[in-house]
Chain A
Amino acid sequence: MRWIHAARARARLLFRREAEERMNHEIAFHIEMEAERLVREEGLAPQEARRRAVIAFGLAERHKDAMRDGRGLAWLGRLGTLGLDFKLGGRMLVKYPGLTVVGGLAMAFGIWFGAVTFHMFGLVTSTKLPLPDGDRIVKIQNWDSKLAQDEDRVLYDYQLWRSARSITDVGAYRDASPNLVGTDGHALPAMAAEITASAFRIVPERPRLGRVLDASDERAGAAPVVLLGHDVWTRRFDRDPQIVGRTVQLGNRSATVVGVMPEGYGFPIAHELWLPLRTNVAGVEPRRGLPITVFGRLAGGMTFESAQAELTAFGKRLAAEHPATHAHLQPRVIPYTQADGDSGDMPQVKALVYFFVVVLVVVVCSTVALLLFARAAARQTELLIRSALGASRRRIVTQLFAEALVLAGVAAVVGLAAAQLALTRLGKPYIEFNYGRLPFWYDFNLSPTTIGYALALAAIGAVVAGVMPARKITRGLGTQLRAGSAGGGGASFGGVWTAVIVTQVALTVMIPAAAMLVRSESQRIASYDFGFPAQEYLGVTLGLDGPPDEMPTPETGARLGTLVEALRGRLEAEPGVAGVTFVDQLPGTYHVARHLEVVSLPGHPSSWVRTARVPTSYFDVLKAPMIAGRPFTSADLSPDAHVVIVDQGFVDRVMGGRNPIGHRVRMSAEQTPDSTAAQGPWYEIVGLVKGLGMSHVDARRRPAGVYLPFVPGDQGALGIIVQGQGDPLSLAPRVRALATAVDPALRVEQMTRLDQVAAPQLWFLNLWMRIIIGLTAVALLLSLSGIYAVLSYIVARRTREIGVRVALGASARRVIASIFRRPLTQVTLGVIGGSILIVVAAIAVQHTQEFAAVKPSGLTFGDVALLSGYSILMLGVCMLACVVPTLRALRVQPTEALRAE
């Protein structure tokens, strides 16, 4: 605490005027009080009392001097001349507030961007668990070199891997998400891991209550047990201290709670519930059985290489024993945090990103360099005097560098504070959006490495912003000294600065084009046409309890169908519910694609179509009457009915506008690249309905949609659509309660109002939008201040010339023209350059395969008009930066200019 008081007191003393005022006030107050006391106690006349009080105070000026000496950054002086330089740097910050704000903000932005990028990238690509010996925890995978993917049915291999001598505590887990029934009676899916007890030796942590899982729990016939995570214990069981030993319901199973883990424990990834995994299954065949992930810890003295060598030997042995399944399998030992799949080029990508950030900081700091250069140029007389008094060039460069370093230091503090805010407020949801869940080792607090990186960026920035202009400005000092003149000659703005300004203006023109692209994307998504009043409907995805990676079987599908039907019946009886229907895929989400052929048309036109399976009530509940033909009847639900209903998109894209009713089509079973429609059964089109959200919300084109009658059986999940009489979201708690009541294994996976299906995408696009707008603002600010600095400098340096011109009768117009020529050229060049880059980028994007999915529809006429308008605006705004210096130039009086000599 003491240093806080001290720092505050010192900071206050930095402001000279305030400190002087305070000192004078205190002394005056003291003398007044003393004089009053003398009048009161010794009966002196006021005038005499005051005289005596002044004498008693002593030499006021001497005390003031003592205070002035003690004030400011004198303490820094003890650090030697460098301290003096920093002191001057600090004073410069206060003396040139405009430069401090603009330059500091720009640098802070660069550092902020760098720190956030570095930290986020570090999280995603880190190969070390932040635990003791975290870099020795590994994953073992079976890599299929033929399919170029990871084979996770490794239960057979696992038995052998456990005997490895180079890796200890070999264990395995698989994801599960059972429906956990909490104290409130609701069943909600929990992120569970079926895991071997060795996990709790790999990442050891004392449980908060009870015990962790142990080997006895894995034995066949052992009583079912569960270990709870802190979060689940808190949220679902109200931190019940008596939970250990109690039985909880997990879908249709029940298990006894053996313990509660402490807060933050999420091994293997982001799990909140642990169940024993039985791996010693008798008679497991190679490449069969449950998919599992295998982990372990490098044994003492072993390296990745030695472990890999041992596993490779195992792999060869298995390949020899089971050539049919293992010929192409190769075990790999990889760092635990490395993402699945081959990510061998990650280090290069990482280096590239970090390099890009450095480039960004250099570009930003070159403008700051421009500003500092203009400031240094204005101080040329001071520098000349220093030089004359014996300061070496190196000494002056050091001083200017120290000034830049102080600015960069302040910027680093601001940038890091903003980075911390951004990481917790935006970084976390960003990762959640992209990866679905947050691994437990992700820490969004600035790490020492990130802070180090940011400080390094600040140092680089200070070198660019300080040393470059300093070297330039000190180059001609000797010559100028000999010439005995401080004005004119010497420092001038070279090609580098022009390039910097032109680049910035180009960026300022270019970045908004990207913003426009993002905005049109989010507008397009936000204006997605569902074809029905989506805000009146609640969309609920329902699934059956079980491991998420298990394929649905006809039995589970049929059971799900029965349960959903039961739920539908109960929901319909609820007050406030206007209608209930279901569908295999909710509107606005991905639908199954099939290849379709119209057999009844000449040439058998074919196309990809999106399909949905719906019950007879579907179109009624969505208030979408048939445009032509008839809706499904209960007779159509029979497996031999073979009828479909198509939507308007189908008529437009497949039928070429013809009436589809009565035509016959054939469809492939599912979406595979080589699927043909030829083998599929025949269907007759019986109805036509308008488009009802058969594509994902971010799809660009309305698809051709085909509705099949709903046959329960082959779905792993089902969507139920509930129409509310008021806000459908108010029905959500009832839907959950009824689902649990129908069957605890019936899982509510997702529940949203249908018009909000796109909310996460919109959030994501909005975030990018905000980042881009921030970038634009910084680029604009920088180019404006750059132009302003250059112009002010030029005007200042040409004062005499302008004076002479005016004295000789030059008109204001000619003076303005001569000043404006340079910035006008620069801005024009920048605008042209930026526009060319936009066009090039637009062409590149349209010809790049990677962007095929997000192919922008090209810049429309409106966009081009908007961009041109913006360019003109840019030109105008840049010219604004010229107004003040120009006015200053015009005010130059010939006499004054000549006296300057």
Chain B
Amino acid sequence: MTIRPQSDALRGSLDLLVLKTLSLQPMHGWGIGQRVQQISDGVLEVNQGSLYPALQRLEKEGLVTSDWGTTDNNRRARYYELTAAGRRALGAELESWRRFAAGLEAVLRTT
């Protein structure tokens, strides 16, 4: 099964994925997409283009910051990093996601 977050439909989960990925280390946009795909064994495939509006939104909310940096092969790239507020937001999002998933699971079990 492949979940393709269709822009708004799973926007919440896209934010969650981005925050979670950035909690490991600062990363550029392409790297974030790759990491999500790697970790989920290709199950979750982030729509590559929709990543950037999401990053911009998170940055405007003060959850991530960004700065220019250079990649391993010496290319200029925009690196994103989680702020303290972002870290707190990740905790809250995770919590609510887990509750949501548990609720969904409960409903699916009984019916």
Question: Could you list which residues of chain A lie within 8 angstroms of chain B, going by C-beta atoms?
Answer: 1-10, 13, 22-23, 25-27, 29-30, 32-34, 37, 56-60, 62-63, 66-67, 70-71, 75
Per-position 1/0 for B29-60, Cβ under 8 A of A: 11000100000000000011110110011011
Q: A26-B78, A56-B48, A63-B52 are in contact. Are A2 and B62 (CB under 8 A)?
A: yes
State whether B30 touches A6 (Cβ < 8 A).
no
CB of B49 within 8 A of CB of A5, answer: no
CA A717 – CA B56 in complex, angstroms? 74
Q: Is B83 within 8 A of A5, CB to CB?
A: yes
List A contacts of B75 (CB < 8 A): 29, 32
CA distance A71 to B55 in the complex (A): 12
| CB pair A58 B29 closer than 8 Å | no
Rounded to whole angstroms, the CA-CA distance of A213 and B77 in the bound complex is 69
Q: Is B23 an interface residue, CB under 8 A from the partner? A: no
B85 interface residue per 8 A CB criterion: yes
Q: Are A70 and B60 closer than 8 Å at their CB atoms?
A: yes
State which of A6, A25, A63 has its C-beta within 8 Å of the C-beta of B49: A63
Sample of 10 more A-B contacts, CB < 8 Å, known A2-B83, A26-B77, A75-B60: A1-B83, A3-B62, A5-B65, A26-B78, A29-B28, A29-B77, A32-B75, A34-B48, A63-B50, A63-B53
User: Of all chain A residues, which has the CB nearest B48?
Assistant: A57
A96 to chain B, nearest CB (A): 26
Which chain B residue lies CB-closest to A59? B49
CB contact between A23 and one of B30, B52, B63, B76 (< 8 Å): that residue: B52
Complex Cα distance, B30 from A59, in Å, reads: 16
Bound Cα distance A67, B29 (Å): 14
Q: Ordered nearest first, which 9 A-B pairs have the shortest CB separation?
A: A6-B62, A58-B49, A2-B85, A2-B62, A5-B62, A63-B49, A66-B53, A33-B30, A9-B59
A67 touches B53 (CB 8 A): yes
* C-alpha gap A668/B79 in the complex (Å): 88
Q: Is B61 a contact of A6 with CB atoms below 8 Å? A: yes
State the CA gap A27–B56 with chains docked (Å): 13
Q: Which of A9, A30, A71 touches B48 (beta carbons < 8 Å)?
A: A30
A677 to B83, CA, bound (A): 85
Determine the distance from Cα of A29 to Cα of B71 in the docked complex, in whole angstroms.
Answer: 11
Contact status A22-B78, CB under 8 Å? yes
Residues of A within 8 A of B3 (CB): none
The answer to whether A34 and B53 touch across the interface, beta carbons within 8 angstroms, is no
Which B residue's beta carbon lies closest to that of A22? B78
CB neighbours of A32 from chain B (8 A): 75
B84 at the interface (CB under 8 A from A): yes
Question: Which chain A positions have C-beta within 8 A of B28?
Answer: 26, 29
Distance of A57 Cα from B84 Cα, bound (Å): 30
> Interface code B83-111, partner A: CB below 8 Å = 1, 0 otherwise?
11100000000000000000000000000
User: A26 touching B52 by the CB < 8 A rule?
Assistant: yes
User: Is the CB–CB distance between A71 and B56 below 8 Å?
Assistant: yes
Q: How far is the CA of A29 from the CA of B59 in the complex (A)?
A: 19
Chain B residues contacting A9 (CB-CB under 8 Å) are: 59-60, 62, 65-66
Give complex CA distance A839, B83 in Å.
65
Chain B residue with the shortest CB-CB distance to A23: B52
Contacts of B50 in A (CB 8 A): 58, 63, 66
Question: Contacts A10-B60, A58-B47; is A25 near B78 (CB within 8 Å)?
Answer: yes
Q: Please indicate the chain B residues that have their CB under 8 angstroms from the CB of A56 in the complex.
A: 48
Q: List 21 A-B contacts (CB under 8 A).
A: A1-B83, A2-B62, A2-B63, A3-B62, A5-B59, A6-B62, A9-B62, A26-B77, A29-B28, A29-B29, A30-B30, A32-B75, A33-B30, A58-B50, A59-B49, A67-B52, A67-B53, A67-B56, A70-B56, A70-B57, A75-B60
Contacts of B61 in A (CB 8 A): 2, 6
On whether the beta carbons of B60 and A25 are closer than 8 Å, the reply is no
Residues of A within 8 A of B49 (CB): 27, 57-60, 62-63
Complex interface: chain B residues within 8 A of A37 (CB): 34
Nearest-Cβ distance from residue B14 to partner chain A, whole angstroms: 13
Which of A26, A34, A75: most chain B Cβ within 10 A?
A: A26
- Asked if B48 contacts A6 (CB within 8 A), the reply is no
Bound-state Cα–Cα, A657 to B27, Å: 92
Cα–Cα, bound, A23→B28 (Å): 13
Q: Which of B29, B47, B62 has the most CB of A within 10 A?
A: B62
A34 touches B30 (CB 8 A): yes
Chain B residues lying within 8 Å of A57, measured Cβ to Cβ, are: 48-49
Residues of A within 8 A of B56 (CB): 13, 67, 70-71
Complexed CA–CA distance, A25 and B60 (Å): 19
A32→B73 CA distance, assembly (Å): 13
Closest partner residue, chain B, to A61 (CB atom):
B49
Contacts of A60 in B (CB 8 A): 49
CA of A38 to CA of B64 in the docked complex: distance in angstroms?
29
Question: CB distance A6 to B52 under 8 Å?
Answer: no
A9 to B62 CA separation, bound complex (whole angstroms):
7
The residue that B29 contacts in the complex, of A3, A5, A26, with Cβ under 8 A, is: A26
Q: How far is the CB of A259 from chain B (nearest CB, A)?
A: 44
* Shortest CB distance B107–A (Å): 33
Minimum C-beta distance from A510 to chain B (A): 50
CB distance from A164 to the nearest CB of B (A): 59
| Bound complex: CA A60 to CA B78 (Å) | 18
- The interface centre, meaning the residue of B34, B56, B57 with most chain A CB atoms within 10 A of its CB, is B56
B59 partner residues in chain A, CB cutoff 8 A: 5, 9
